[in-house]
Homo-oligomer: A and B are copies of this chain.
């Protein structure tokens, strides 16, 4: 971004990404420095705090995955039902990519305001996606009539939380595919009108 060597910066980000993705819990600043082949202080030269490093890593990962492209199919869909299913597929399949850093960020929410805000902001973006899908269902009259659009959005948002992905795939051992299929099914049952 600013003054120091850009190559070093991305090496730090890649190292952070890789370490967190590999499931190592307890990733310390010194671990990251070692993995990046750089001194611990060099990390602080680029990222003033651990929280900012993690946040920067989420952006780094986003950039590597073309997030907008992943959501394009959902946005382009004709029916609300399609939009819902494609959104679940897109987001559900993106979760594994950000889970590592997300977990680290979530772990520090309680004692680091910046981490809390950053993660909350990202989750708010997911909520907007849920909201859009719900609105599309509403337009098609496919949303359960006994549900306000806010309730429906909250419900979908909860179902698609990273914690639920973690729960099913890590605790219960579900495959990624099983997770996505069941979430589509569950979201359908939760949100769609039953008649038809």
Contact = CB atoms under 8 A, between A and B. Distances in A.
Contacts of A26: 110-111
A161 B99 CA distance: 18
**Copies per assembly:** 2
Interface string A136-165: 000000000000000100110110010110
A193 B155 CA distance: 21
A93 B190 CA distance: 22
A6 B163 CA distance: 39
Nearest to A27: B110
Contacts of A157: 167, 172
A168 interface: yes
A41 interface: no
Contacts of A151: 182
Nearest to A153: B172
A189 interface: yes
A107 B190 CA distance: 30
Contacts of A103: 110
A164 B161 CA distance: 8
Contact of A110 (B107, B158, B186, B194): B107
Interface of A: 25-26, 103, 107, 110-111, 151, 154-155, 157-158, 161, 163-164, 167-168, 172, 174, 182, 186, 189-190, 194
- What 7 A-B pairs are tightest by C-beta distance, nearest first? A163-B163, A154-B172, A189-B189, A25-B110, A158-B167, A107-B110, A158-B164
Given A154-B174, A158-B168, 9 more contacts: A26-B111, A107-B110, A151-B182, A155-B186, A157-B167, A158-B164, A161-B167, A163-B163, A163-B164
